Amino acid sequence: MASIHEKKFVSGDPAKCVGCCVCEYACSMEKEKTYNPTKSRIRAVRLNPFVNLAVACRLCEEAPCVAACPRDALEQSQEKGIIIVDEEKCNGCGWCIEACDYGAIQLHPETRVVFTCDLCDGEPKCVEWCPEEALDFTTKDILSQKARVAIVKKLFVEALKAPT
């Protein structure tokens, strides 16, 4: 299986996300042919009045959702890391939903079977349609590098402000 650091996933930047929910609509249209956020594989979450975040599957190594399923209805793809749901085995018990640290698994409102992001075959529509460019299709290594660069820039700005 590819390393967790090599797998690409959809990442949301709370500094850019305005909570418009276009990602949810793009996803539900792509996957369900309807504009219905309850059928979306990504969730726009308002953390407080000023902070929003889009949440999708993070392709955990040794995914807890897979381990939690008592019916072996979930499997993690060896190649891409996506979670595959066997709809015949899933009874909608929700153990996988509880096990997900990111809240990235939902119960379909009609079929009562769980579903999660499958990355749209490597071209996530949510990323494509995000008007604020708050979503990125990236790896954990690239995300970590961006965080380090942002912290160094912030430290540099603070150092310039400090009295000499």
40 and 81 fall within a common domain = no
52 and 122 fall within a common domain = yes
Question: For position 154, which CATH number holds?
Answer: 3.30.70
What integer pLDDT is reported at residue 2 of this predicted model?
54
51 and 70 fall within a common domain = no
pTM across the whole model = 0.84
What integer pLDDT is reported at residue 9 of this predicted model?
94
Quick: pLDDT tens for 86-113.
999 999 999 999 999 999 999 999 999 9
Residue 146 lies in a domain: yes
CA atoms within 13 A on the CB side of 140: 12
Residue 156 lies in a domain: yes
Residue 144 lies in a domain: yes
Indicate if the pLDDT at residue 146 is higher than 90.
Answer: no
The parent domain of residue 91 ranges over 59-116
Cα separations in angstroms, 69 against 37, 63, 95: 25, 11, 6
43 and 81 fall within a common domain = no
What integer pLDDT is reported at residue 66 of this predicted model?
98
49 and 64 fall within a common domain = no
pLDDT band at 154 (very low <50, low <70, confident <90, very high): confident
Residue 1 lies in a domain: no
Task: Give the phi and the psi of residue 121 in degrees, each rounded to 5.
Answer: 55, 35
DSSP single-letter state for residue 120: G
Quick: pLDDT tens for 68-90.
999 999 999 998 999 999 999 99
- CB-CB contact of 56 with 104 (8 Å): yes
